[in-house]
Amino acid sequence: MPGRRLSLVVVALVLIAAPPLAAGGPPEFSATTDEAFDAAALGSYEGEHSAVYAHIDQNLDAHLGSIQRWLRQRSISAQNVGIQEMAEMLRSDLEGMDFAEAELVPTSGHPGVWGYYDAGADKTLVLYLMYDVQPVDPEDWESPPFEANVIDHQFGRVIMARAATNQKGPERAFFNALESILAVEGTLPVNLMIAAEGEEEIGSPNYPEVIAKYEDRLRSADGVLFPFNSQDPRGDVSMFLGVKGILYFELEARGNETGGPKEAEIHGSLKAMVDSPVLKLIQAIASMTSVDGNTILIPGYYDPIRPPTHEEETLINALLDDWETQETMLKQAFAVDRFANDMTGRDLLMSYLYTTTLNVDGIWAGYTGEGSKTILPHMATAKMDSRLAPNQRPEEALEMIRKHLDDNGFGDLEIRQLGGYPPAQTSVEAPLVQAAIRVYNKYGKTPDVSPRIGGSAPYYVFTELGLPLVAGGLGHGSGAHAPNEYMVIEPHEGSEIADLAQIEKFYVDLLYALAE
Amino acid sequence: MPGRRLSLVVVALVLIAAPPLAAGGPPEFSATTDEAFDAAALGSYEGEHSAVYAHIDQNLDAHLGSIQRWLRQRSISAQNVGIQEMAEMLRSDLEGMDFAEAELVPTSGHPGVWGYYDAGADKTLVLYLMYDVQPVDPEDWESPPFEANVIDHQFGRVIMARAATNQKGPERAFFNALESILAVEGTLPVNLMIAAEGEEEIGSPNYPEVIAKYEDRLRSADGVLFPFNSQDPRGDVSMFLGVKGILYFELEARGNETGGPKEAEIHGSLKAMVDSPVLKLIQAIASMTSVDGNTILIPGYYDPIRPPTHEEETLINALLDDWETQETMLKQAFAVDRFANDMTGRDLLMSYLYTTTLNVDGIWAGYTGEGSKTILPHMATAKMDSRLAPNQRPEEALEMIRKHLDDNGFGDLEIRQLGGYPPAQTSVEAPLVQAAIRVYNKYGKTPDVSPRIGGSAPYYVFTELGLPLVAGGLGHGSGAHAPNEYMVIEPHEGSEIADLAQIEKFYVDLLYALAE
């Protein structure tokens, strides 16, 4: 019997030590190899297309004007502002470049845009484009977000505008390059398929409809390019081979048959008798994370995440070479003094690459004006997103969140899914990736190659067709999803950041390198 | 040794059963007497003032017009809208009724208004008035909140407007009664002191300055009246002898040296590396209450609350006679299906009267517009209030909240106090209270007498001078602090709700009853 009592003690002490909700923590994948990927070893692309380069140099003002034309056209998908106009601007630009096909693609939401340029070439490149932009709070901007002014900036002359870098700036720079090739050579070195969407910033809910329509033709292509400003402020290039997925939803608590005022706010003093939907939402969200907000307590939420492959391990080892400088720059860029959980080094990088997140994008309830108003609000809403690492799936994540809420007394909270798609991955061995690295090497910008970024894009629609995808290009910009977004056009003397002409010449070379 | 092991088990099991934070629960005060207060036993006021009553009946349209004039003058203290204009309207009305003194009283905030009518009488009554109103969301209203239209309603013809019942409606009805007495009798039966404030709805931060200026004169008065619509939809009268205090504050989390973005929102995917101020605010608020939002977990928070006195016990016992009907009506009025913790009966009433609250009046952070925006906001703010039962003090409550936050890892959250004052209590034995009950009895409206209401008003400024305070009058209204606020002017045939003329005649009788 004493033995039995002792085991009871042990059981009891274990129970005491357990966290408030039983759940696995974030994955901890320790290193399995010392091998490091070496991008320089792939050599440089050796082609020279001097006549095209000269055409770019001679038409740079017009090229800048084309970028500004795109940036001045609002296209806020979340608010359905300027969407049709921007889709038509893109379609009309394709038509102007003698694309054989250039058409709007109706979907259940905002239209896609499809284009096909038949160069009679062996290779076919798909261009993934997004023509929509994030909403703005204009009062937070130094220069109005839709004026696309060229202004002085710490890194030189920049275009400041919503979408300057995410994503119209680099996209229209790519088309500037196309126009110069066509003007000089009369045709392109590869066939091009354009598959654009107008809903990237709201989670790409209907992009699969665009892909489904052209799926057989897309499968015949050799890879997918997403024009992208890949340089950091020092001019160094980062290349990423994948993206996280995303689950975006609204979580809402309302007064209902279980308690709380059902119809309207009531006097705040009634809290002594009546449940608060605001506190219910707050408690529900709080139950999903540790007290520091950094560990997700939803049972099983981290479980699907797979460890790095050997190839990814070598990429990670290479990234860690320069990681200390990266950390300093990230802190500056985000105005952050310390990272979550005081992470540094490999822990921080691995968290970025292999951890899922639960983030509150917005929350609102009750009175939010000046001064005091004493009410018990009848409803409260939060916008939340979760970034999904490989092999998480949005539908599975949503199910776990729902079950967690149901199991913890929050079964009456409504979840409204606003978007969701899985992560995507391309191998560094893909010919398209190897070509891109060789062109970077030509410009003396041997890239850091990351298995993925923490951000999301619906690349799965391509990678799940078996297509490699590269988001790449020279150029530097920042401020995506934030005020004062910019793209550098004319860097300071001596800067390692590419100017607009170099950005466009890179895209010229990339098309020819792919054709080889 | 087995004994020692066993006690370890017991200790362990006790620890398991303990709530996440050690804290006393809400007070549970069991009944100590069966004695019940009987208001009918006090008898009826027997005075008749027929000429004054006739004057009221003959001037009812003008009296209604005076109420509308007050309601159409916005006076939103939280937003500083129309405050000066409303203060001057009140002052000018006093002057028009031959008050010897009628002046604005400058304070550190919105001005008070002081008035004195010298009737050469033995008794002096102080009139506590508030001339400010709650903010509005005009789109939620059936009839515009500052048009003061008389419209059809389930209880008859009503004036619908912000402040119709809280508090300009009954206040101006009282002045209508004064005008009729003055017109008929040439003077008043008592001397009157007017002590009005324009900051009640923001927690009366500067009302003590008004009181301090006239403190010696106020001490010489016999009691304080606050004109109040005391009838429920059935016409029954509730009288309350006290109010809870209040602590109102904003709680704010921002990115700072401990983590999170310091300057602006950043991309939502960075949650994998960066702390979230929104989650910090959510966790901080969540830590203050039980998971159902109904028990405050701040150590010691409930401790100062005193049990009911014997007098209060007799009042509570009387209230419980009719409590079942009250519960049903409260559920209808608030659109609530069940009360917090499934409370009913004495538990519910005691919670309303003797429990303090923690309520979220509003919360906001990040993106709150249409659709999706994926950001990690750099700040989050909540407006919160706590109703204070006797003997809680706002400064003590605030200190406990601050300590709880500091002790639980939320020391960097800012608390901005927007208002706070202690509760107030008057005895049912006070001559002013007894006079009011006798006038109610005359109108066949023997009141339910409650020790207090759950709402707050700065009555402490009077009760702490030793003055009894009565908030009373006939009439019915609802919607304080909510959309569609109204006051019944002309009830349906057969209704027990007083019409405007009866409301005014009650005030006439009350003044004469006090003079006796």
Average of per-residue pLDDT across B260-288: 97
Give me the pLDDT at residue A25, please: 83
pLDDT at A390 over 50: yes
Chain B residues close to A260, C-beta within 8 Å: 336
User: What are A171's two structure tokens?
Assistant: 């996209």
pLDDT at B15 over 50: no
**Cβ separation of A292 and B409 shorter than 8 Å?**
yes
pLDDT-based confidence at residue B184 (cuts at 50, 70, 90) = very high
Q: Distance (Å, rounded) from C-alpha B349 to C-alpha B363?
A: 29
How many residues appear in chain A? 516
pLDDT at A495 over 50: yes
**Of A293-302, B283-292, B474-483, the least confident:** B474-483
Contact between B395 and B423 under an 8 Å Cβ cutoff? The reply is no
**CB atoms closer than 10 angstroms to residue B186:** 8
pLDDT at A292 over 70: yes
Where do runs of H (alpha helix) occur along A74-116? Answer: 83-96
Give me the pLDDT at residue B205, please: 86
Question: Hey, what CATH class is B245-366+374-421 in?
Answer: alpha beta
Q: Shortest Cα distance from B42 to chain A (angstroms)?
A: 31
Name which of B10, B130, B336 to mutate to probe chain A: the one with the most chain A Cβ atoms within 10 A of its Cβ. Answer: B336
Q: Shortest Cα distance from B406 to chain A (angstroms)?
A: 14
**Which residue in chain B is spatially nearest to A265 when comparing CA positions?**
B482
A303-321 per-position pLDDT tens digit? 999 999 999 999 999 999 8
Q: Shortest Cα distance from B484 to chain A (angstroms)?
A: 10
Average of per-residue pLDDT across B222-248: 94
Give me the pLDDT at residue A3, please: 35
CA A286, A292, A296, A299: dihedral to nearest 10 degrees? -70
Name which of B361, B379, B404 to mutate to probe chain A: the one with the most chain A Cβ atoms within 10 A of its Cβ. Answer: B361
Q: Shortest Cα distance from A186 to chain B (angstroms)?
A: 41
DSSP A267-314: EGGGGGTS--HHHHHHHHHHHHB-TTS-SB-STTTTTTPPPPPHHHHH
**Eight-class DSSP state of A32:** -
Percent with pLDDT over 70 in chain A: 95
**Which residue in chain B is spatially nearest to A331 when comparing CA positions?**
B261
**Which residue in chain B is spatially nearest to A345 when comparing CA positions?**
B273
Q: Distance (Å, rounded) from C-alpha B145 to C-alpha A179?
A: 61
Give me the pLDDT at residue A22, please: 41
Give me the pLDDT at residue B278, please: 98
Chain B residues close to A1, C-beta within 8 Å: 2
How many residues appear in chain B? 516
**Which residue in chain B is spatially nearest to A17 when comparing CA positions?**
B16
Name which of B199, B342, B359 to mutate to probe chain A: the one with the most chain A Cβ atoms within 10 A of its Cβ. Answer: B359
**Of A19-23, A230-234, A267-271, A458-462, the least confident:** A19-23
Average of per-residue pLDDT across B356-372: 95
Chain B residues close to A289, C-beta within 8 Å: 279, 283
pLDDT-based confidence at residue B112 (cuts at 50, 70, 90) = very high
Contact between B217 and B193 under an 8 Å Cβ cutoff? The reply is yes
CA A388, A389, A391, A394: dihedral to nearest 10 degrees? 0
CATH number 3.40.630.10 given to A41-241+426-515? yes
Q: Using CB atoms, which residue from A257, A274, A289 is nearest to B334?
A: A274
Q: Using CB atoms, which residue from A20, A283, A339 is nearest to B293?
A: A283
Chain A residues close to B294, C-beta within 8 Å: 275
Average of per-residue pLDDT across A480-498: 96
**3 state SS of B449:** strand
**pLDDT averaged over chain B?**
93
Contact between A198 and A130 under an 8 Å Cβ cutoff? The reply is yes
ipTM, two decimals = 0.83
Contact between B112 and B104 under an 8 Å Cβ cutoff? The reply is yes
Picking from B399, B451, B393, the residue whose alpha carbon sits closest to that of residue B422 is: B393
**pLDDT averaged over chain A?**
93
Chain A residues close to B244, C-beta within 8 Å: 269
Q: Shortest Cα distance from A206 to chain B (angstroms)?
A: 14
Give me the pLDDT at residue B25, please: 83
pLDDT at A422 over 80: yes
**Which residue in chain B is spatially nearest to A13 when comparing CA positions?**
B12
Give me the pLDDT at residue A13, please: 35
Q: Shortest Cα distance from A431 to chain B (angstroms)?
A: 29
Q: Distance (Å, rounded) from C-alpha B394 to C-alpha B388?
A: 7
Q: Distance (Å, rounded) from C-alpha A359 to C-alpha A356?
A: 10
Tell me how many helices (H) and strands (E) chain A has.
15, 20
pLDDT at A6 over 80: no
User: What are A180's two structure tokens?
Assistant: 């110069």
**Cβ separation of B280 and A267 shorter than 8 Å?**
no
Q: Distance (Å, rounded) from C-alpha B284 to C-alpha A462?
A: 43
Chain B residues close to A262, C-beta within 8 Å: 335-337
Give me the pLDDT at residue A169, please: 98
Contact between B227 and B67 under an 8 Å Cβ cutoff? The reply is no
DSSP B450-486: ES-EEEE--THHHHTTT--EEEE-S--EE-TTSSS-E
A239-279 per-position pLDDT tens digit? 999 999 999 999 999 999 999 999 999 999 999 999 999 99
pLDDT at A48 over 60: yes
Average of per-residue pLDDT across A189-218: 94
Q: Shortest Cα distance from B435 to chain A (angstroms)?
A: 29
**Of A168-172, A452-456, B248-252, B321-325, the least confident:** B321-325
pLDDT at A2 over 90: no
Strand partners, A383: A250, A362
pLDDT-based confidence at residue B41 (cuts at 50, 70, 90) = very high
Residue ranges per structural domain of chain A? 41-241+426-515, 244-305+355-366+374-421
Average of per-residue pLDDT across B153-179: 98
Give me the pLDDT at residue B288, please: 98
Contact between B256 and B262 under an 8 Å Cβ cutoff? The reply is yes
Cα Rg for chain B, rounded, in angstroms? 25
Give me the pLDDT at residue B88, please: 98
Q: Shortest Cα distance from B486 to chain A (angstroms)?
A: 14
Give me the pLDDT at residue B18, please: 36
Q: How far is CA A453 from the centre of its chain?
A: 8
We find that the CATH architecture of domain A244-305+355-366+374-421 is: 2-Layer Sandwich (3.30)
B390-430 per-position pLDDT tens digit? 999 999 999 999 999 999 999 999 999 998 999 999 999 99
Picking from A129, A163, A170, the residue whose alpha carbon sits closest to that of residue A146 is: A163
Q: Using CB atoms, which residue from A257, A283, A355 is nearest to B337?
A: A257
Chain B residues close to A336, C-beta within 8 Å: 255, 259-262, 266, 274
pLDDT at A211 over 60: yes
Say how many CB pairs under 8 Å bridge A and B: 379
**Cβ separation of B367 and A361 shorter than 8 Å?**
yes
**Cβ separation of B481 and A336 shorter than 8 Å?**
no
Give me the pLDDT at residue B10, please: 36
DSSP B218-240: HHTSSEEEEE---B-TTS-BEEE
Q: Supply the pTM of this predicted model.
A: 0.83
Q: Shortest Cα distance from A5 to chain B (angstroms)?
A: 7
Strand partners, A114: A103, A195
**Eight-class DSSP state of B464:** T
**Cβ separation of A276 and B360 shorter than 8 Å?**
yes
Cα Rg for chain A, rounded, in angstroms? 25
**Cβ separation of A360 and B279 shorter than 8 Å?**
yes
pLDDT at A106 over 80: yes
Average of per-residue pLDDT across A188-195: 98
Give me the pLDDT at residue A179, please: 98
Percent with pLDDT over 90 in chain B: 89
Element (H, E) at A336: none
pLDDT-based confidence at residue B11 (cuts at 50, 70, 90) = very low
**Cβ separation of B351 and A286 shorter than 8 Å?**
no
User: What are B146's two structure tokens?
Assistant: 């500052």
Chain A residues close to B357, C-beta within 8 Å: 268-269, 271-272
Give me the pLDDT at residue B14, please: 35
Contact between B464 and B426 under an 8 Å Cβ cutoff? The reply is no
Average of per-residue pLDDT across A41-46: 97
Picking from A430, A427, A12, A514, the residue whose alpha carbon sits closest to that of residue A242 is: A427
Q: Shortest Cα distance from B92 to chain A (angstroms)?
A: 28
**Which residue in chain A is spatially nearest to B374 when comparing CA positions?**
A361
Give me the pLDDT at residue A24, please: 66
pLDDT-based confidence at residue A8 (cuts at 50, 70, 90) = very low
pLDDT at A4 over 90: no
Contacts of A456 (CB under 8 A, 6+ apart): A243, A244, A245, A246, A387, A388, A421, A423, B269, B374
Q: Using CB atoms, which residue from B273, B372, B377 is nearest to A248?
A: B372
pLDDT-based confidence at residue A458 (cuts at 50, 70, 90) = confident
pLDDT at A177 over 70: yes
Picking from B505, B257, B245, B293, the residue whose alpha carbon sits closest to that of residue B398 is: B245
**Which residue in chain A is spatially nearest to B353 when comparing CA positions?**
A272
**Cβ separation of A276 and B268 shorter than 8 Å?**
no
**Cβ separation of A454 and B269 shorter than 8 Å?**
yes
Q: How far is CA A428 from CA A230, A434, A449, A452, in A?
A: 16, 7, 8, 11
**Cβ separation of B78 and A286 shorter than 8 Å?**
no
Q: N- to C-terminal Cα distance for chain B? A: 80
pLDDT at B54 over 90: yes
**CB atoms closer than 10 angstroms to residue A14:** 10
Average of per-residue pLDDT across B287-299: 97
Q: Shortest Cα distance from A165 to chain B (angstroms)?
A: 13
B216-226 per-position pLDDT tens digit? 999 999 999 99
**Cβ separation of B267 and A376 shorter than 8 Å?**
no
Burial B284-320 (b: 16+ CB within 10 A, else e): bbbbbbbbebbbbbbeebbebbeebeeebbbbbbbbb
**Of A178-192, A355-369, B21-35, the least confident:** B21-35
pLDDT-based confidence at residue A19 (cuts at 50, 70, 90) = very low
Give me the pLDDT at residue B238, please: 87
